[in-house]
């Protein structure tokens, strides 16, 4: 009888951990879609799609609250230790990063709406579209690393962060050049600068998740400094929030 009780408790605990993983996977899917749709709305100047991204952000917020409540209850009921506790702490960290990615995607969508029908030249949008594809790849790979508990894949995402930083620095300088060459480009380029900065921050949050996955898998924090490819003295001053 005692063994049956223990087996039931272990099964219940495993089910609760699986539920946390499921919620994180659902959040990840929504975050990926929000980023992809916001950038697609930018490229197509699709105000309706941008509005959907803004509206649907509440779903990520709701899931974040579900994860937090489930994690707190799990800790209170099961008092997990060692790797089990890392799983719970990891879920809390990752859900926070995913919620923030959703906010950044919403900010991009708001920029699209703010630009309205004023279509920037395609050459201005090209660099932003390119960096967004890299950021989306990073996000997909790190979410795969989480579900597979693949520390090697997480480390690969972590090491690639500098590529996004370097691309952002290049885009920053390119857009400044366009603004100096023709004052008519200033409004569009300003919106695109904010958009590119939001995408660069999405890459940073994907790297945060990679660090968490590595910690959950190994029980150790990455001891090296995070690789950075942004050598600009000015780009860090660009805020990320839509005004």
Query: Which sequence spans correspond to the domains of the chain?
Result: 2-237
Picking from 10-14, 61-65, 79-83, 137-141, which range would have the lowest pLDDT averaged per residue?
10-14
List pLDDT tens digits, range 61-82: 999 999 999 999 999 988 888 8
Following DSSP, what letter does each residue of 164-209 receive, concatenated? Answer: HHHHHHHHHHHHHHHHHH-GGGHHHHHHHHHHHHHHHHHHHHHHHH
Please tell me what DSSP assigns to residue 221: -
User: What's the CA angle centered on 195, arms 185 and 176, to 5 degrees?
Assistant: 40
Cα distance between residue 158 and residue 161, in whole Å:
6
Residue range 31-40: mean pLDDT, rounded: 96
Cα distance between residue 192 and residue 137, in whole Å:
20
> Tokens 């885009």 identify what position?
171
Cα 111 to its chain centre, rounded Å, is 18
Cα 55 to its chain centre, rounded Å, is 18
CATH of domain 2-237: 1.20.58.220
User: What's the CA angle centered on 96, arms 94 and 101, to 5 degrees?
Assistant: 95
- Please determine, for residue 47, whether its predicted confidence score (pLDDT) is greater than 60: yes
Residue range 45-60: mean pLDDT, rounded: 96
The pLDDT value recorded for residue 187 is 87
Cα distance between residue 112 and residue 116, in whole Å:
6
Structure tokens given for 129: 């579209």
Q: Does pTM surpass 0.75? A: yes
Structure tokens given for 59: 């779903």
Structure tokens given for 193: 């600068």
Please name the residues in contact with 74: beta carbons below 8 A apart, sequence gap of 6 or more: 13, 16, 17, 20, 80, 88
């Amino acid at each position: 009888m005692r063994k049956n009780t223990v087996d039931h408790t272990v099964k219940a605990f495993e089910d609760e951990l699986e539920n946390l993983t499921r919620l994180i996977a659902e959040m990840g899917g929504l975050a990926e879609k929000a980023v992809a749709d916001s950038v697609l709305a930018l490229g197509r100047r699709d105000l309706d799609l941008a509005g959907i991204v803004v509206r649907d952000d509440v779903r990520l917020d709701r899931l974040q609250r579900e994860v937090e409540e489930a994690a707190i209850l799990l800790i209170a009921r099961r008092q997990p230790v060692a790797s089990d506790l890392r799983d719970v702490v990891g879920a809390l960290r990752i859900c926070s990063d995913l919620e923030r990615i959703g906010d950044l995607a919403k900010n991009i969508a708001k920029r699209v709406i703010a630009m309205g029908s004023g279509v920037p030249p395609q050459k201005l949008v090209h660099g932003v579209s390119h960096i967004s594809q890299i950021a989306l790849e990073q996000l997909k790979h790190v979410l795969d690393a989480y579900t597979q508990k693949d520390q090697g894949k997480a480390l690969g995402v972590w090491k690639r962060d500098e590529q996004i930083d370097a691309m952002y620095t290049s885009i920053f300088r390119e857009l400044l050049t366009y603004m100096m060459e023709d004052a008519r480009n200033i409004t569009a380029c300003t919106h695109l600068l904010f958009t590119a900065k939001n995408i660069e921050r999405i890459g940073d949050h994907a790297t945060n998740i990679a660090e968490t996955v590595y910690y959950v898998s190994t029980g150790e924090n990455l001891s090296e400094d995070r690789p950075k490819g942004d050598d600009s003295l000015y780009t860090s001053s660009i805020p990320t929030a839509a005004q």
